[in-house]
A = this chain, B = another copy of it.
Amino acid sequence: MGDLAMCLDEEASRHFLQEIVNILLAYMCKLFKRSTKVLDFHHPHQLKEGLEGFTLELSDQPENLEQLLVDCRDTLKYGVKTGHPRFFNQLSSGLDIIGLAGEWLTSTANTNMFTYEISPVFILMEEVVLRKMMDMLGWSNEEGDGIFCPGGTVSNLYSVLLARYHFFPEVKSRGMSAIPRLAMFTSSHSHYSIQKSAAVLGIGTENVLLVKCDERGKMIPGELESSIASAKDRGLYPFYVSATAGTTVYGAFDPLNDIADICERHGLWIASSVTWNPHKMMGVPLQCATLLVRKKVSLNFECNQLCAEYLFQPDKHYDTSYDTGDKTIQCGRHVDVFKLWLMWKAKGMEGFESQINKCLENAEYLFDKLKNRTDFLLVFESKPEHSNVCFWYLPHSLRNLPPGCERDKKLHAVAPKIKAKMMEEGLTMIGYQPLGNKVNFFRCVFSNSATQREDVDFLLDEIVRLGHDL
Main secondary structure of the interface of A (DSSP, over half): helix
**Shortest beta-carbon distance, A296 to chain B, in Å?**
19
Partner of A342, one of B68, B122, B202, B322: B68
Q: With contacts A47-B120, A196-B304 known, is A24 near B104, CB below 8 A?
A: yes
Whether A332 and B204, one on each chain, are in contact in the complex, defined by CB atoms closer than 8 angstroms, is no
A59 within 8 Å of B by Cβ? yes
A460 within 8 Å of B by Cβ? no
> Which residues of chain A from 195 to 243 have a CB within 8 Å of any chain B CB?
195-196, 198-207
**Shortest beta-carbon distance, A271 to chain B, in Å?**
23
Whether A75 and B207, one on each chain, are in contact in the complex, defined by CB atoms closer than 8 angstroms, is no
A61 within 8 Å of B by Cβ? yes
A78 within 8 Å of B by Cβ? yes
A297 within 8 Å of B by Cβ? no
CA A106 to CA B413, docked complex, whole Å: 35
Whether A80 and B348, one on each chain, are in contact in the complex, defined by CB atoms closer than 8 angstroms, is no
Flag the segment in A15-23, A259-267, A365-373, A400-408 that touches B: A15-23
Residues in B whose Cβ lies below 8 Å from that of A65: 346
Partner of A79, one of B120, B182, B202: B120
Number of copies: 2
Residues in B whose Cβ lies below 8 Å from that of A335: 286
CA A355 to CA B153, docked complex, whole Å: 36
Residues in B whose Cβ lies below 8 Å from that of A313: 416, 432-433, 440
**Chain A window 432-460, contacts with chain B (Cβ cutoff 8 Å), 1 for yes, 0 for no:** 11110000100100000000000000000
Whether A310 and B433, one on each chain, are in contact in the complex, defined by CB atoms closer than 8 angstroms, is yes
A357 within 8 Å of B by Cβ? no
Whether A17 and B172, one on each chain, are in contact in the complex, defined by CB atoms closer than 8 angstroms, is no
**Chain A window 12-53, contacts with chain B (Cβ cutoff 8 Å), 1 for yes, 0 for no:** 011011101101110111001000000001111101100000
**Chain A window 122-133, contacts with chain B (Cβ cutoff 8 Å), 1 for yes, 0 for no:** 101100110010
Number of interface residues of A (CB under 8 A): 159
CA A81 to CA B438, docked complex, whole Å: 55
Q: With contacts A72-B105, A124-B44 known, is A119 near B80, CB below 8 A?
A: yes
Q: With contacts A107-B285, A345-B58 known, is A330 near B153, CB below 8 A?
A: yes
Partner of A78, one of B118, B121, B322: B121
Whether A330 and B150, one on each chain, are in contact in the complex, defined by CB atoms closer than 8 angstroms, is yes
Partner of A332, one of B157, B286, B310, B351: B286
A420 within 8 Å of B by Cβ? yes
**Chain A window 49-89, contacts with chain B (Cβ cutoff 8 Å), 1 for yes, 0 for no:** 00000001111111101011001100110111011000001
CA A288 to CA B45, docked complex, whole Å: 26
Partner of A110, one of B20, B43, B285, B351: B285
**Shortest beta-carbon distance, A210 to chain B, in Å?**
12
Residues in B whose Cβ lies below 8 Å from that of A355: 6
A344 within 8 Å of B by Cβ? yes
Whether A346 and B440, one on each chain, are in contact in the complex, defined by CB atoms closer than 8 angstroms, is no
**Chain A window 393-413, contacts with chain B (Cβ cutoff 8 Å), 1 for yes, 0 for no:** 000000000000000000001
Residues in B whose Cβ lies below 8 Å from that of A47: 120-121, 124
CA A129 to CA B89, docked complex, whole Å: 27
Q: With contacts A151-B333, A206-B173 known, is A112 near B90, CB below 8 A?
A: yes
Residues in B whose Cβ lies below 8 Å from that of A75: 105, 109, 121, 338
A319 within 8 Å of B by Cβ? yes
Whether A171 and B79, one on each chain, are in contact in the complex, defined by CB atoms closer than 8 angstroms, is no
CA A45 to CA B116, docked complex, whole Å: 12
A309 within 8 Å of B by Cβ? yes
CA A125 to CA B57, docked complex, whole Å: 8
